[in-house]
Homo-oligomer: A and B are copies of this chain.
Amino acid sequence: MASQEIEQLTQALARLPGLGPRSARRAVLHLLKKRETALVPLLRALETVGDKLSTCEICGNVDTSNPCGVCSDPKRDLRSLCVVEEVADLWALDRSRLFPGKFHVLGGRLSALDGVRPEDLGVDTLIARVSGGEIDEVVLAMNATLEGQTTAHYLAERLESYPVRITQLAHGLPVGGELDYLDEGTLAQALRARRPVA
């Protein structure tokens, strides 16, 4: 029987997404056997991040500084703003510097089912940023789900009266996608948005 302390560590790890009880146990064993090279670095990293963690007051990103690294980066294009549902989406788009502008995290999506209304999301702060006048383009980068697209439509309407270009991510075939295996919805969108061959 593992001691109570080890059991608690296993449970704390097992609650992370992607780790079940079995893999958490393997991870704990690894941490126990490599105290100096695995357990201590993880402990220090958690301490540092835990101390400094904050939500960016401008965009809603989570980072160890406030304003966050993206918002305080002087090399970013202030005129483009990319609106995403979650922090995870911001990270995904920002991973390889795909988008040169700034971001805005809504903190969710409109959902009648879950009772999420516009006032539950960062919509007012978005409007405030756009009405500042510095922004030329707002990219609505919602998920290609029903709720994501509903949210995008709602935001497009709210932003209509401001002098900004409103765009959204292209829908179509994913890279490596085989027509044979793709759903009808994706195929319909790819067809509808077909482009002339250059």
Contacts and interface: CB of A to CB of B under 8 A. Distances in A.
Interface of A: 1-3, 5-6, 8-9, 11-13, 15-19, 23, 25-27, 29-33, 35, 38-43, 45-50, 52-53, 62-65, 69-70, 73, 87-88, 91, 94, 97
Given A16-B31, A27-B19, A29-B88, A6 B42 contact: no
- Copies of this protein, total: 2
Contacts of A45: 5, 8-9, 11-12
A49 B53 contact: no
Contacts of A38: 12, 15-16
Contacts of A25: 91
Given A39-B49, A69-B1, A27 B31 contact: no
B43 A3 contact: no
A150 B62 CA distance: 53
Nearest to A13: B42
A6 B63 contact: yes
Given A29-B91, A32-B87, A35-B53, 17 more contacts: A1-B73, A1-B94, A3-B69, A5-B49, A5-B64, A6-B63, A8-B45, A9-B42, A9-B46, A16-B27, A16-B30, A16-B31, A17-B26, A19-B19, A32-B49, A39-B50, A40-B50
A124 to B, nearest CB: 21
A43 B39 CA distance: 10
